[in-house]
Chains A and B, each alone.
Chain A
């Protein structure tokens, strides 16, 4: 499978790179860049979860907890040892990969519903451990402040600097995932998803590849946790609770299971949705509701739209936004002929 199926794809990719590396940071205000930064972080996490759920067909309701493992590993290293950010990032990812693989061990015996429940248990147990073991959580309200990362002696402090910092990792994650899924490993994942018994017969070691899928996916999650910690400047377990795991599952379902582009669409959509709701309510809500009512409406509206979108996509378009995008693209590719 070639990376560029059509010649025009090269130009499209070049244009996207120029837009994201040159045009956007030049024209956008810091506030909008901070929103894009949130999307960037979500994209990395969604790609990781999609490797596990979309490509390998395993389910995890514990990705929020894997992120917190990465976040606290990095925060502890940064504060106690004064380690530089690349070490923290790698250590956070690897620690999350280790914990993820351990939580994934039940996937060797059980699947589907049981695996969902086992990873849910993983989420709750990790959350509890971080919250109650002061060695990890650092005591007061289980949050640890981390210093800003320094790149070549330059502190990444403003949102604009953070934008470039995160964008590098988004590119690494996107290219890495694209290459992973067309390698031997990625094909083994897809084989396990489609028919695990057949995969075993053609010589795929299911034991190894399932754990590998959990480890790679959790590595992405750990890196997401570390980056989010650097973005916020503080590691806090409340940022990684069960609702985060569900947010990420929603991203890949709305975006499209088993698709790199879908993960990006989904991450952007789910991150922007609450912001759009807030803007809309702040702009027009005043005409209809009191201020107190708006404060109640915004978070609840987000939950309702969220759940409704998950169900809607599951029923109407199981392949998600990615499929809608492909439909639009193929419509224009053969235009003006319908077939």
Chain B
């Protein structure tokens, strides 16, 4: 007998978690879209943002709004600085150089976070209730609804930014062809920096939401591992792709965990999205919405 109630619960949970994945994936997509750089440190960005917010909340006893604002500003500055200090120097180098630089950056951030703010898990409490909302068969924690809402709002804002605003169009031009963009009078380096700063904004929000869901410690960076299945499924350079990929990954991992975990003793959540991703890489490596330019060998 198929248990519809259980299935609906898994689905609703998957959709909400999926939208929260989409928020983090958005950070990855923004950078890739504009600069062709791959950020293997996306999860660590989220972690460090969480640490900054928590530090202001507890160490300096500021209100939540100020802490979040400081987190946003810090991550924007971090994005600008990173582009200036590291990534600008790697322009034109083979792709493995950028991949390795972000892997190195990830290691630094994983060290700096616990070294500065301590290794214990910190509780980032948002002023919303912990009581799950009960809708018929569904139990929905309010934090997930908030996360999904923030996620959708920012996906909408950035979607509008790229389609309609002057800066967004310039950024698409830079992504499409750097030389032509330069010839048209676009300051390419400034838009690279802007892309990293935008990733900083998204990561700061991700840090607040995921931090309040999971607690802030070094393990928060593991959320970054979910970014790759999401962006590969959706398409590396597509904002709608981040949403769709996030939803697919969220639903698949929850449903797979719900039905397979009892037989294998856990861990399906981390495993299933990657199996799906391998299948996607074989069949459609540019993803559902991605540009079809992939170098064939």
Contacts and interface: CB of A to CB of B under 8 A. Distances in A.
Contacts of A311: 86, 101, 104-105, 108
B56 to A, nearest CB: 21
B104 A125 contact: no
Contact of B264 (A107, A132, A303): A132
- Listed residue (B38, B89, B109, B278) with the most chain A CB atoms within 10 angstroms of its CB: B278
Contacts of A310: 100-101, 103-104, 107
A285 to B, nearest CB: 13
Nearest to B277: A121
A112 B94 CA distance: 9
A314 interface: yes
Interface stretch (A36-44, A181-189, A232-240, A246-254): A246-254
Contacts of A281: none
B103 A249 contact: yes
A304 B93 contact: no
A304 B96 contact: no
Given A132-B265, A303-B107, A296 B115 contact: yes
- Listed residue (A117, A253, A304) with the most chain B CB atoms within 10 angstroms of its CB: A117
Contacts of B156: none
Interface string A282-300: 0000000000000011011
Given A110-B294, A314-B101, 18 more contacts: A57-B94, A109-B297, A112-B96, A114-B294, A132-B267, A246-B103, A246-B107, A249-B103, A296-B115, A296-B118, A296-B119, A297-B115, A301-B115, A302-B111, A304-B107, A307-B104, A314-B93, A314-B104
Interface of chain A, main secondary structure = helix
B296 A109 contact: yes
A116 B38 CA distance: 10
Nearest to A120: B228
B58 interface: no
Interface stretch (B47-55, B167-175, B192-200, B268-276): B268-276
Contact of B106 (A57, A110, A206, A307): A307
A121 B152 CA distance: 28
Contacts of A169: none
Interface of A: 53, 57, 59, 106-114, 116-118, 120-121, 124-125, 128, 131-132, 196, 206, 246, 249-250, 253, 296-297, 299-304, 306-311, 314-315, 318
A76 to B, nearest CB: 20
A64 to B, nearest CB: 13
A9 to B, nearest CB: 31
Contacts of B104: 250, 306-311, 314
A249 B100 contact: yes
Contacts of B294: 110, 114
Contacts of A297: 115
B90 A315 contact: yes
B285 A114 contact: yes
29 contacts: A57-B94, A59-B96, A109-B296, A110-B294, A110-B297, A111-B297, A112-B96, A112-B295, A114-B281, A114-B285, A117-B281, A124-B225, A124-B271, A125-B274, A128-B271, A132-B264, A132-B265, A196-B297, A249-B100, A249-B103, A304-B107, A304-B108, A304-B115, A306-B107, A306-B108, A307-B104, A310-B101, A314-B90, A315-B86
Interface residues of B, number: 47
Nearest to B115: A300
A274 to B, nearest CB: 12
A83 B248 CA distance: 46
A125 B108 contact: no
Contact of A308 (B108, B118, B228, B277): B108
- Listed residue (A108, A116, A318) with the most chain B CB atoms within 10 angstroms of its CB: A116
A124 B111 contact: no
B236 to A, nearest CB: 8
Contacts of B40: 116
B277 A109 contact: no
Interface string B77-114: 00000000010011001111101110111111111101
Q: Top 4 closest A-B pairs, CB basis?
A: A303-B111, A310-B104, A307-B107, A307-B108
A107 B100 CA distance: 18
B282 interface: yes
Nearest to B106: A307
B270 to A, nearest CB: 7
Nearest to B264: A132
A60 to B, nearest CB: 10
A296 B267 CA distance: 28
Contacts of B25: none
A305 to B, nearest CB: 8
Given A110-B285, A304-B107, A121 B274 contact: yes
Nearest to B266: A132
B114 A296 contact: yes
B199 to A, nearest CB: 16
Nearest to B105: A307
A120 B232 CA distance: 13
B90 A53 contact: no
Contacts of A114: 232, 281, 285, 294
Contacts of B96: 53, 59, 112, 116
Interface string B151-174: 000000000000000000000000
A120 B277 CA distance: 11
Nearest to A311: B104
A113 B38 contact: yes
Contacts of A108: 297
- Listed residue (B110, B111, B271) with the most chain A CB atoms within 10 angstroms of its CB: B111
Given A114-B294, A132-B265, A307-B111, A125 B271 contact: yes
